[in-house]
């Protein structure tokens, strides 16, 4: 079967009259129907840009210069080739997105009812009464206890958790095949965060919707996803199932992220922090491996050549020169045993 979403060799450049440089490079992601897939990494790693590229919402200074984004719903289509009007038909009905900040994503000048039902007006031909009832039902489904009252209110009258529930209702009201959630719990406290994640999982199962979860929080990935891609400086540096990433992390960056998680049962250890900062895109071309300046295992080769994405196992890949050394050591050992 073809995957629901198939991103192949996606590269994005920053382009002006004076300069051009690469921001996102060689992104390959496959998401099957009903799958929960995560992208994790620090701020500035390119997670949100990847999601905006899928939605065809990149700023004018950013340009997809290579690769394809295939969506396989009713028909297979390459989203990078669609016109603006064709893409408007896809957004909301086939792919929906929950943005980072619901307070800025919702228009303060319009009621919840207006904004929620606008999605239905664009993609369906229901009567006003039918749309209103569908809106009320959807708000009830996302756990809002006074849906008819909330329909009349404005975003500023709701709490952060309520606004996020409204955003989820808007994203799912047309029952899309893919839901992109960009940091959906960032501004919420821990209790509300857990409720929102449980709600998304429940609604995903109910509507058979695949989820692309974008976050910097590994705990969110562990709770919601089946597979995960670890992004750093515009590249995927490791990709596998969630279990393997947490139990057998292969890339030094992934290991650093996992080491920075505080364990409640161990208060004696000092909290680990990856030294340095994510390089800015205009310096990517000066590096071999983009993580080399912060990597405790960096060799001279790491600063001169970009490593390929090694296939460690059938469903586990990692972008690091250390894997070539491991392969060579394994080959030498095998040869010596045979001799």
Q: How confident is the model at residue 335 (pLDDT cuts 50, 70, 90)?
A: very low
Q: How confident is the model at residue 337 (pLDDT cuts 50, 70, 90)?
A: very low
Reading the block at residue 86, the tokens are 């064709």
* pLDDT, averaged across the chain: 88
pLDDT digits (tens, 9 = 90+) for 105-152: 889 999 999 999 998 888 888 899 999 999 999 999 888 889 999 999
DSSP state of 219: H
User: pLDDT value at position 267?
Assistant: 61
User: pLDDT value at position 281?
Assistant: 87
Q: How confident is the model at residue 332 (pLDDT cuts 50, 70, 90)?
A: very low
Rounded-to-integer distance, Cα 185 and Cα 194, Å: 9
Looking at per-residue pLDDT, the higher value among 192 and 236 belongs to: 236
Cα–Cα distances (Å) from 243 to 77, 171, 246, 249, in that order, read: 32, 29, 5, 9
Rounded (10°) angle between helices 160-172 and 190-207: 10
Q: Which of 12-26, 38-52, 198-212, 268-282 has the lowest mean pLDDT?
A: 268-282
pLDDT at 30 over 90: yes
pTM over the 0.85 mark: yes
Query: Could you tell me which CATH number the domain at 5-232 has?
Result: 3.40.50.300
User: pLDDT value at position 2?
Assistant: 80
Q: How buried is 41 (Cβ within 10 angstroms: 0-12 exposed, 13-18 middle, 19+ buried)?
A: buried
pLDDT digits (tens, 9 = 90+) for 306-325: 999 999 988 999 999 999 87
**For the chain, give me the number of helices (H) and strands (E)?**
13, 12
pLDDT at 334 over 60: no
User: pLDDT value at position 8?
Assistant: 96
pLDDT at 331 over 50: no
Rounded-to-integer distance, Cα 238 and Cα 35, Å: 18
The DSSP bridge partners found for residue 95 are 91, 178
Rounded-to-integer distance, Cα 14 and Cα 284, Å: 12
Torsion, Cα 98 99 100 103, to 10 degrees, reads: -100
Strand order of the sheet with strand 5-15?
Answer: 20-31, 5-15, 62-72, 76-78
Looking at per-residue pLDDT, the higher value among 131 and 195 belongs to: 131
Domains of the chain: which residue ranges? 5-232, 249-263+271-338
Reading the block at residue 193, the tokens are 């965060």
pLDDT digits (tens, 9 = 90+) for 51-90: 999 999 999 899 999 999 999 987 889 999 999 889 988 9
CB neighbours of 259 closer than 8 A, spacing ≥ 6? 272
User: pLDDT value at position 265?
Assistant: 59
Q: Which of 5, 3, 48, 2 is nearest to 178 (CA)?
A: 5
Rounded (10°) angle between helices 128-141 and 160-172: 130
User: pLDDT value at position 262?
Assistant: 67
């Amino acid at each position: 079967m073809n995957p629901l979403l198939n991103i192949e060799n996606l590269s994005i450049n920053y382009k002006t009259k004076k300069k051009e440089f690469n921001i996102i490079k060689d992104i390959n992601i496959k998401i099957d129907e009903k799958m929960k897939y995560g992208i994790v990494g620090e701020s500035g790693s390119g997670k949100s840009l990847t999601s905006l590229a899928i939605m065809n919402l990149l700023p004018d200074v950013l340009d997809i210069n290579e690769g394809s984004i295939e969506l396989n719903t009713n028909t297979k289509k390459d989203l990078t080739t669609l016109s603006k009007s064709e893409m408007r038909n896809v957004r909301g009905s086939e792919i929906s997105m929950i943005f980072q900040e619901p307070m800025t994503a919702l228009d303060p000048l319009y009621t919840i009812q207006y904004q929620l039902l606008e999605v239905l007006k664009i993609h369906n031909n229901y009567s006003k009464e039918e749309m209103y009832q569908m809106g009320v039902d959807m708000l009830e489904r996302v756990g809002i206890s006074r849906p008819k009252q909330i329909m009349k209110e404005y975003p500023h009258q709701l709490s952060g958790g309520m606004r996020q529930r409204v955003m989820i209702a808007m994203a799912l009201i047309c029952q899309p095949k893919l839901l992109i959630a960009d940091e959906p719990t960032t501004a919420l406290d821990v209790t509300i965060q857990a409720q929102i994640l449980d709600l998304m999982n429940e609604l995903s199962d109910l509507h058979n919707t695949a989820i692309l979860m974008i976050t910097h929080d590994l705990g969110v990935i562990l709770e919601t996803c089946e597979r995960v891609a670890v992004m750093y400086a515009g590249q995927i540096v490791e990709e596998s199932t969630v279990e393997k990433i947490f139990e057998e992390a292969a890339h030094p960056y992934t290991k650093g992220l996992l080491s920075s998680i505080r364990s409640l049962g161990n208060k004696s250890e000092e909290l680990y922090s990856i030294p340095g900062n994510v390089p800015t895109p205009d310096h990517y071309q000066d590096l071999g491996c983009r993580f080399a300046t912060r990597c405790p295992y960096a060799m001279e080769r790491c600063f001169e050549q970009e490593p390929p994405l090694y296939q460690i196992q059938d469903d586990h890949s990692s972008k690091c020169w250390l894997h070539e050394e491991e392969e060579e050591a394994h080959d030498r050992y095998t040869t010596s045993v045979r001799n």
